[in-house]
Structure 1
Amino acid sequence: MTNVTAISSRAAKVATKAPPKPRSRRPATTRSPAPPRTQRLCAAAVLAVALVLTCLSLTHLAEGTRLVTGCDAPSAFAMAVGIDLSFIVIEISILNAANRTRQDVARFAVPAIIGTLILSAAMNALSFSKHSQGLMIYPAICLGLAIPALIYCLTRTGAALWRIEK
């Protein structure tokens, strides 16, 4: 009988033992920031991809402008540069504006960015779809619409990474 009592008291001790507490993870905010050089290298890589996509967009935007207006190639390319580079430069200006002037700059800049993004996306979609046939026209249009959005996102990301907090 003493063996049964010993076993049951041991089982009771095991059963009442509290489960181990899960190890707490460090919050994501305590992660040490990347060194400035690494951050700048990441920014340069992101901005390099944005530059390649901008070159692609410029050629398709110029082609779309020629299709719509019938203008000569230099005029179409100048218009493409004006449209695509406008939203890039304006967005970088907003990101780098001083806190007290950012709201004044954004009041005029945000509608310009939206307008140039829409125009660029439409002309890119037109140019991409020109060379497609059948059902492949829909993915071509989606690609044309995505290019300016990618340029915008990459430019914002690269510019934000380039700024090093002190």
Structure 2
Amino acid sequence: MRALVVYESMFGNTEAVARAVAAGLRTRYEVELSPVTEAAGRPAPEVDLLVVGGPTHAFGLSRPATRKDAASRVPGPVPAELGVRDWLDAAFPVSPPRAAAAFGTKMTEPRWLPGSAAKGIAKRLRRLGYRLAGAPADFHVDGMTGPVTAGELDRASAWGAELAAAAHPAAR
């Protein structure tokens, strides 16, 4: 069984969460990790489980303007040319039953801050014909540039293991 984890990460936090999710998925799957910029150049993934993650920008999935703004807030280069929204909006529908899951990262403070990249990703995955293997999950980051909040990588790994159990045919 094969899983693909595609992620968008500007400051390395969403990538760290993606790696933790992949570690949890490895309990039942052979896992490949791919930044969205690399996934964009490949055909539709032929995998048993597709997991997609991205950062929450301005209450949802990143856009060119929000990526540019985020990149301007730190010194040094930040990948800002392509996001998960763009990749999913350009994707072709799939034939069911295909399993997928969505995760996002978002700032821990302020707690009242609404929005979730995970929910936007899940909506797009369902629209493409995927069956969600689990509820979309948000993982917290301290401030805009991180680091990932203490304990969240363990939670991400546990979420990945739960997804693997729920999505794997032998688990049903």
Say yes or no: TM over 0.5: no
Greater helix proportion? 1
Query: TM-score, normalized by length of structure 2?
Result: 0.23
Q: TM-score, normalised by structure 1?
A: 0.24
Q: Which is strand-richer, 1 or 2?
A: 2
Larger radius of gyration: 1
